[in-house]
Amino acid sequence: MEVTTYQSEKINLNDFDLEDFVSVVFPGAQKQMRKVSLVILKELTIEPKTISEIVDKNKLARGTAYDAANKMQRLGILNREGKYAPIRISSKFPLSLERLALWYRNHFSAKKRG
């Protein structure tokens, strides 16, 4: 994940959107992954679905869609109850980021600077 200064300013101005979020998760040359992830996240904001349903409905490249979904699942953005259950947007992701940010601040601000 990579947050640029430009994206930080968009967050501060409440101008950060889903496309910006996807570009943070898939930075650089991962254009196809960004495109597919955006479609997946938009579909999942409506209701939980399987990746196969999303692929078929939107005519996405199956391998890229599964790769993108797996990465988002490893990051905690998506989750599912079981192997064949519909995938959904995780409610735990923001809490995990808050806890990580708290740890980061405590860990690195406590260190004495040379």
Q: Where are the domains of the chain?
A: 5-109
Write phi, then psi, for 37 (nearest 5 degrees). -65, -40
For the whole model, what pTM was predicted? 0.84
| pLDDT at residue 105, as a whole number | 87
Which residues in the chain come in under a pLDDT of 50?
114
| pLDDT at residue 97, as a whole number | 87
The correct answer on CATH 1.10.10.10 for the domain covering 5-109 is: yes
| pLDDT at residue 110, as a whole number | 60
